[in-house]
Chain A
Amino acid sequence: MAGRDGADTTRRVATGSRSAGRVVGSWRAAWLRVEAHWTWYRRYWQSSLYSSGLQPVLFLAAMGLGFGSQVEAGPATGGLAYVHYVAPALLVAGAVQNAIGESSYPVLSGFKWQQDYYAVTATPVTAGQLLGGQIIWIALRVGIACVVYAIIALLFGAWLNAGALLVVPVGVLAAVACGVPIMAVAATTYNEGERFAAIFRFLVMPMILFSGTFFPIEQIPGAVRWLAWISPVWHGTELARGVTLGGLGIAPALGHLAFLGALFGVSAVLARRYFYRRLVV
């Protein structure tokens, strides 16, 4: 330690600087943002746990156990009870809703109401690192909610095998693939965010209802079935069922992963551009 302090003093004398500030690496900077979010979360986790963790559990109880008791096991459920069919899909649906919620008004607030994003980018932390931290934080937060859901679903007897362990990372992947595009939208929103209400109603809700969450998309008329194919929720649901119930080939699995990965990648590039455009002007 003494040696390091000595070197530090020499550097300060050399530059004539009294400042204690220095530039941190990109990943470290993003992680410092996660630390900041965690500080907030430690204080407010209870209030957010209902929407993020408990709501999917209520859906599981109502749809999986309640409604599901009236559903006969058949070819569509792979011969399994409805609760096994719907449990992985509800995890994905909950994760996606959670991520989209966290990527909308809270991100807009960083730009518009609290404006704390401007405070962060006045430090050595850059707009890109800020975005990276936001994405990692949402992934972690959704991950926590998914784990809580997965444990409760286990108590309900919803999981059949160890493949269920993979359902959490699948849920997180679907969540960030849906959340990051919303961050890009938030970064280009200058009004009070009315468009988010429209997105929730006309995009997110239909996407959750008609992406194979509650019934196979083969039940959707062929003319509009393609809408399910472009829904990231469907790709996530197919993957989640694949790891919990089996029966998903390698090629389709890779296809679903590629779709979600591409959506995440493209929207991350766009979001980064819009974050810079908004914060560095």
Chain B
Amino acid sequence: MVEAKALVKRFGDFEAVRGIDVQVRKGEAFGFLGPNGAGKSSTMRMIASTSPRSDGDLRVLGMDPDVDGPRIRARLGSVPQQDTLDTELTVRQNLQIYGRYFGMSRADVRRKATELMEFAQLAERADGLVDALSGGMKRRLTIARSLVNDPDLLLLDEPTTGLDPQARHMLWDRLFRLKAGGVTLIITSHYMDEVEQLCDRLVVMDGGHIVAEGSPSELIARYSTREVLELRFAPGEQGGIAEQVAEFGERVEELPDRVLVYTGDGERALEQVHGRDVRPVSSLVRRSTLEDVFLRLTGRTLVD
């Protein structure tokens, strides 16, 4: 569906994307994980054929965006970071008008709008103004709008940023259904749980580069341990702790508010820590996540 080779995006002197290779296959859910400014959105906009590449090669749906932009966009769905809805029109009008841009007949967009409002659980607000919708509803409408042309490839740029947990889970559920229906998804996110839940395969981006690639479980297996022991200390009492507990794990990371011990067996490490007479305010044993992968690869956390 997407094939990028040595893809580069420059804005003046600034290189946002620094030569990345990506391949997205039909039917998979593919993720770009990285902090703000990693180059995810620039990559997405190049794939969406709304931003010309500065260098390298890019094929989307087998076509070159520089040549066949409109033909590619006809078969894409795009959920941008901002909702970009027409807030002075109704939910139904937003969907119908958008469908028309894809060359669909009035009858088709009417039918499709009704179907999508059901899908996005917005049927009750069909003839209400978008302005009055909650943030989660607007986001759902933006996703519904991106589906109006039955896209072969759906691009979601930070689909759940700024939503409350309930709204996020509802969106994830809709995305799972789309995936089950055979839609290829590309998702950018700086939420590791989102990517972990939704994506079959992902790349981790940092500073315009791809720093790792694989499935969520592969990446965790390759770059982290099975479990993580998190130790929190009272302010000012964390100094020197990392050195003291280093021997209880394969690796130790010190964050401003906690110390992370990477180990195969978190409970045992915790016992050893207690045995050493180290007294954290609180402790937590958990599975490794992509957040830990990212920390390992870049030395930084995803969301600061």
Contacts and interface: CB of A to CB of B under 8 A. Distances in A.
Interface of A: 16-24, 29, 32, 35-36, 39-40, 43-44, 114-116, 118-126, 279-281
Nearest to B51: A281
Given A36-B86, A118-B50, A124-B74, 13 more contacts: A17-B75, A29-B101, A35-B97, A40-B88, A43-B88, A116-B85, A118-B84, A119-B84, A122-B78, A123-B74, A123-B98, A123-B101, A279-B50
- Looking at B48, B50, B76, B151, which has the most chain A CB atoms within 10 Å of its CB? B50
Contacts of A39: 89, 93, 97
B101 A40 contact: no
Contacts of A32: 97, 100-101
- 5 closest Cβ contacts across the A-B interface? A21-B149, A21-B102, A21-B74, A123-B101, A119-B84
A261 B123 CA distance: 48
A124 B86 contact: no
A105 B50 CA distance: 24
Contacts of B150: 18-21
A281 B152 CA distance: 24
Contacts of B93: 39
Contacts of A16: 26
Nearest to B75: A19
Contacts of A122: 48, 50, 73, 76, 78, 80
Interface of B: 11, 26, 45, 48, 50-52, 61, 69-71, 73-76, 78, 80, 82, 84-89, 93, 97-98, 100-104, 108, 112, 145, 149-152, 182
A237 B284 CA distance: 79
A22 B103 contact: yes
A121 B112 CA distance: 21
Nearest to B108: A20
Contacts of B73: 21, 122-124
A36 B15 CA distance: 37
B51 to A, nearest CB: 6
B84 A114 contact: yes
22 contacts: A17-B75, A18-B182, A19-B74, A19-B75, A19-B149, A20-B108, A21-B74, A21-B76, A21-B102, A22-B74, A22-B103, A32-B101, A36-B86, A44-B88, A114-B86, A115-B82, A118-B50, A118-B80, A119-B85, A122-B48, A123-B98, A124-B103
Q: Is the interface of B mostly helix, strand, loop or mixed?
A: loop
Nearest to A19: B75
Contacts of A23: 70-71, 74, 103
Contacts of A29: 101
B48 A36 contact: no
B46 to A, nearest CB: 11
B55 to A, nearest CB: 16
B62 to A, nearest CB: 9
A119 B88 contact: no
A115 B86 CA distance: 9
Contacts of B152: 17-19
Nearest to A279: B50
Contacts of A126: 69-70
Nearest to B26: A16
B50 A121 contact: yes
Contact of B98 (A17, A43, A119): A119
B4 to A, nearest CB: 18
A39 B129 CA distance: 13
B141 to A, nearest CB: 11
A31 to B, nearest CB: 10
A23 B102 CA distance: 6
Contacts of B26: 16
- Looking at A44, A123, A280, which has the most chain B CB atoms within 10 Å of its CB? A123
A20 B84 contact: no
Nearest to B104: A20
